[in-house]
Amino acid sequence: MKDIEYGIFMPVGSGGWIPSGNIPELDGSYAYNLEVARDSERFGFDFTLSQAVWRGYGGVSKHFDVNLESIVTSAGLAQATTDIGVWSTVNTALLHPAVAAKMVATQSQISNGRTGLNIVAGGNRMSEKQMGLGLDLDNAAKYRRAGEWVEIVKALWTSASVDYEGEFFTLEDCQSDPKPVGGIPQMICAATSDTGLAFVAKNLDGVLFEGTSRDSVISIGQRARSISQANGDKLKTYCVFMIIPGDTDADAQRRIDHYNEGRDLVAITNMAKEWGAVSHDPTAYNPDNENWASSTAISTGTVAGSTDSIAEQLADMIEHADVDGAVFIMPDFKDDLAALGEEIMPALVRGGFGRIAA
């Protein structure tokens, strides 16, 4: 049996994970996420993970325009659950490491050590711009800043006092108590480039990635494993999968077609700008542009079909990409989560991929 961790990427942002006007209603509220967390624990998932988004993408779907703060949300979910891990996300440009260290340590007390932390080293251009932060840094500098950030947080979690003089941060006799329960929480970061993967392998415990296809998932997973081996083979790999289940493969495809029919081109374009895929020129968006007219609201790495088909596809990618964990998103965190927890996950476990948490 291959030991696999299974997590749920929480719908803390309005619209969930699909920029479309045709998706099930997801308001990004705490009440909704509380229900999802409790269901995820009941189904035996290992952890929940919430994103950190400080500015939405607009459009008719108002995609992510409402987004809960990640650490506070996870603290609340920790109090409301007993066993499942509650992982947060922090953008290293937006929260000072000494502030983050105390917040996460407090959350660790609330959860009795069930805390994990996902850090964002770069990206989030629109969020940073509205706050006047990070605009003069290239990717290399952002990784240097993130490296200092991680070093400081770990020092504050383990030392009585920290003095630090770096390129981006200066601390003098900086103290931070309490310490996290059970030692330094597990820390991960999203990356797909060799530079990003090397940064994660050097500084953190795990890498989070999303493939655009079966081949992409396998390629990134294998590169991450290779980089991990070159750095002591301590790096865990977590792949994000969008699942869209249906009674049949054709039924799942009908769901995809419906979501794409309502795709929100304004939100999709703003998302692309956020990650540097298109120009920030306000005149660059054109709804008649051939490229955008054929764009999809659905993640290109989506795994869709009947529950049996999804289980088979996931088992294939988990095995050949040699990943340590799978993190799931979906259009509907009620019916789709039930299909995942009651049918797909048990099929994966029967096939020798992980276990369902007690």
At 131, is the pLDDT very low, low, confident or very high (cuts 50, 70, 90)? Answer: confident
Residue 47, pLDDT score: 98
Output the pLDDT for position 230: 85
Section 66-82 average pLDDT: 98
Tell me how far CA of residue 302 lies from CA of 113, 140, 250, 299, in angstroms. Answer: 32, 31, 15, 5
Looking at residue 4, what is its pLDDT? 95
Among 130, 144, 66, 126, which residue's Cα sits nearest to residue 277? 126
Task: Give Rg (Cα) of the chain.
Answer: 20
CA distance 265 to 61: 10
| Residue 283: pLDDT over 90 | no
**What average pLDDT does the structure give for the chain?**
91
pLDDT at 95: 94
Percent of the chain with pLDDT over 90: 77
Average pLDDT on 159-175 reads: 98
Cα(245)–Cα(87) distance, rounded to whole angstroms? Answer: 26
Residue where the block lists tokens 């952890």: 47
- Can you give the pLDDT at residue 282? 46
What is the enclosing helix (H) or strand (E) of 328? strand 325-329
**pLDDT for the residue numbered 292:** 54
- Statement: residue 43 has pLDDT above 70: yes
Confidence of residue 193 (pLDDT cuts 50, 70, 90): confident
Q: In which band, very low, low, confident or very high, does the pLDDT at 293 lie, cut at 50, 70 and 90?
A: low
**The pLDDT value given to residue 294:** 61
Instruction: Give the pLDDT score at 299.
Output: 80
Tokens at residue 242, please?
A: 């969008």
Distance CA 60, CA 78 (A): 33
Q: Counting Cβ atoms within 10 Å, is residue 50 exposed (0-12), middle (13-18) or buried (19+)? A: buried
Higher pLDDT, 135 or 195: 195
Report which of 30, 109, 114 is spatially closest to residue 70, judged by C-alpha positions.
30
> Per-residue pLDDT averaged across 50-74, rounded?
95
Name the band, by pLDDT with cuts 50, 70 and 90, for residue 358: low
Half-sphere exposure of 142 (CA within 13 A, CB side): 21
Whether this model's pTM surpasses 0.85: yes
CA nearest to 59, candidates 10, 28, 19 = 19
On the question of a cis peptide bond just before residue 185, with omega within 30 degrees of 0, the verdict is: no
261 half-sphere exposure, CB direction, 13 A CA radius: 7
Residue 280 confidence (pLDDT) above 50: no
Q: Any idea how long the chain is? A: 358
Report the SS3 class of residue 227: helix
Sign of CA dihedral 349, 186, 17, 256: negative
Listed in sequence order, the DSSP H helices in 54-193 are 70-80, 97-111, 125-131, 139-158
Q: How confident is the model at residue 195 (pLDDT cuts 50, 70, 90)?
A: confident
Average pLDDT over residues 248-254: 98
